[in-house]
Amino acid sequence: MSGSYSGQTVLVTGASRGIGLACARHFSGQGARVALVARSADRLEAVAAELGNGAVAIPADTADPADCARVIATVTERLGPIDVLVSNAGILRRDFIEDISVSDFEESYRTNVGGAVWLAKAAIPGMRERGRGAIVLVSSELGLIGAPSYGSYCMSKFALIGLAEVLSHELAGTGVRVAVVCPGNVRTDQLAEEYAWGLGAGAPPEKALAPEAVAATIAAAAEGGPLVVLADKPALKLGFDAMFAMPRRLRLMIIRDAYKALLKDRRARLGA
């Protein structure tokens, strides 16, 4: 099928499930040659077989800088220069700041932030030389607000907003576009696991945004537009925008109220 990405090479990380899988399907449906990157070789091969011609599975751990460099080199060799890089791979763990371990913190940052950094570093020289390309980072609405019990996740997703802003300055005038997409709750296995952990806020899995809608937003962001893009249902986007128009102290009160049951349970468990 031809489309707006016909003949282009698109690299998607975290492509074996969830938002990444939806992105792979979307870009492939738009005519792109899609490089699929994730740690699970079996899942990637199944996705590549589903998508057919032009899809290549490249198992890799994007938390490893050497793996990231290998991925960019392999994609360029097998599919040609990278037109769009979608850094979506990430992990979500629920944790209070008092409970974060060193290993958990490092894994979250190396996966959620490090992979995006190392892939961009390896892809940018080619994009800069050609004078075109797009880098889309997948953050979260929890990269814009701090929420209790999402310590390591919020910190790493906030970092992606900063990374996108830095890249937007460094790549200004080069022809390379940069965007960071911030989805709300998305109907994925990860969200189901998140809710199984315990009390939370936002739309439950059965009412959450479809990953296909986020994939469409990511593809549109790669074509140009705002640096920071919210991906959520229209009513929730309006509410989020309204909340950010408020003074910070009011925004913090709203967020705290949304998690009051969780915080009350936490205090009870600690005997406070």
CATH of the domain at 227: 3.40.50.720
pLDDT value, residue 1: 41
From the candidates 5, 150, 153, 259, give the one annotated as an active-site residue.
153
Full domain range(s) for residue 127: 9-270
DSSP state of 245: T
Closest CA to 84 of 140, 157, 46, 28: 28
Query: What integer pLDDT is reported at residue 208 of this predicted model?
Result: 79
Asked, for residue 3, whether it belongs to a domain, the answer is no
- Residue 249: how many CB atoms within 10 A of its CB? 7
CB count, 10 Å around CB of 73? 11
The two three-digit tokens of residue 141, written as one number: 């609405």
Assess if residue 50 is contained within a domain.
yes
Q: At what angle do helices 211-222 and 18-29 cross, to 10 degrees?
A: 60
- Domain tally for the chain? 1
The edge-to-edge listing of strands for the beta sheet with 84-87 is 56-59, 33-38, 9-13, 84-87, 133-138, 176-183, 228-231
Look at residue 263 and tell me if it is in a domain.
yes
User: Is 105 part of any domain?
Assistant: yes
What CA–CA distance (Å, rounded) separates 215 from 20? 8
β-pair partners for 176: 133
Residue 19 CB contacts under 8 Å (≥ 6 apart), including other chains: 88, 138, 183, 186, 188, 211, 214, 215, 218
Residue 173, burial from CB neighbour count under 10 angstroms (0-12, 13-18, 19+): exposed
118 domain-assigned: yes
Residue 4 lies in a domain: no
Helix, strand, coil percentages in the chain from 3-state DSSP, rounded to 5: 55, 15, 30
- Alpha carbons 136 and 165: distance in angstroms, whole number: 12
Q: Could you list the pLDDT tens digit for every one of the 272 residues in the chain?
A: 446 899 999 999 999 999 999 999 999 999 999 999 999 999 999 999 999 978 999 999 999 999 999 999 999 999 999 999 999 999 988 899 999 999 989 999 999 999 999 999 999 999 999 999 999 999 999 999 999 999 999 999 999 999 999 999 999 999 999 999 999 888 777 766 776 666 565 556 667 789 999 999 999 999 999 999 999 988 888 988 899 899 999 999 999 998 998 899 889 989 85
Residue 165 falls inside a structural domain: yes
Give the model's pLDDT for residue 250. Answer: 94
Gap between the Cα atoms of 160 and 164, Å rounded: 6
CA dihedral sign of residues 89, 64, 224, 24: negative
Residue 153 bears catalytic tag: yes
Other Cβ atoms within 10 Å of 226 Cβ, number:
9
Specify if 1 maps to a domain: no
Cross-strand bridge partners of residue 134: 84, 177
